[in-house]
Amino acid sequence: MSEQATILTDLILSVPWRRRALEAVAALGLKDCWIGAGFLRAPLWDLLHGYETQTPIADIDVVYFDPDDADAEMELAYERCLTNSNAVPPWPETYWSVRNQARMHLENSDPPYEDTRHAITHWPETPTAIAIRLNKVSVPELLVPFGLDDLFKLTVRPTPHARAHKMAVYRERIARKAWRKTWPNLKIEI
């Protein structure tokens, strides 16, 4: 594991509710299942900005890949299960978002995804296209198709897919998220 991966993993596991979130997601037993995006990004950016308190996140993005069960109703059932687990974030407005990536290509107007890794390469920004899980023996694993350099360098840039096909989506998210208000040292490529 690289030094960056160790720092990020240790940071996530050092926060009790984040560890419980990983354990709760692992307990669902979903195929190719991970927690991604702001769950990892926000605490690292907080650390790199010297913040002593955690910045709230809007949602906890759980992604999995199961082509044999692409029923959106199941995602809602998993969200309810996680909401009722002991993995309670410190912010009451934070909610669980569970999405089977085997069907998300339809909502995103993309060709079918091959697995969760392939799906997150279609996410808009490189520092968002990251995920973590506990494997079957409770060892943390990272999924970082574009590496961790952008995340650690506070650089936001479009993924290759976004650059080629969805710059309007990327720019809209940058405007809507207004990350610089929270993390002013970010370098955002437009």
Band (pLDDT 50/70/90 cuts) for residue 65 is very high
Tell me, what's the pLDDT at 55?
97
Best CA proximity match to 144, nearest among 8, 46, 11, 30: 8
Tell me, what's the pLDDT at 18?
97
Residue 54 Cα to chain centre, angstroms: 16
Rounded CA gap, 19 and 49, in Å? 22
Q: Is 171 helix (H, G, I), strand (E, B) or coil?
A: helix
Tell me, what's the pLDDT at 190?
87
Rounded CA gap, 171 and 166, in Å? 9
Tell me, what's the pLDDT at 70?
81
Average pLDDT on 108-115 reads 93
Helices 38-48 and 16-28 sit at what angle, rounded to 10 degrees? Answer: 160
Say which residue the tokens 């079957």 belong to.
136
Average pLDDT on 138-163 reads 98
- Per cent of the chain over pLDDT 90 is 93
The whole-chain average pLDDT of the chain stands at 96
Q: Which residues of 127-160 are buried (b: 16+ CB within 10 A; e: fewer)?
A: bbbbbbbbeeeeebebbbbbebebbbebebbbbe
Question: What domains does the chain contain, in order, with CATH numbers?
Answer: 3-188 (3.30.460.10)
Average pLDDT on 4-22 reads 97
Band (pLDDT 50/70/90 cuts) for residue 19 is very high
Rounded CA gap, 130 and 121, in Å? 9
Residue 164 Cα to chain centre, angstroms: 22
Which 8-state DSSP code applies to residue 146? T
DSSP string for 62-119 = EEE--TT---HHHHHHHHHHHHTSS---S-TT-EEEEEEHHHHHHHHT-PPPSSHHHH
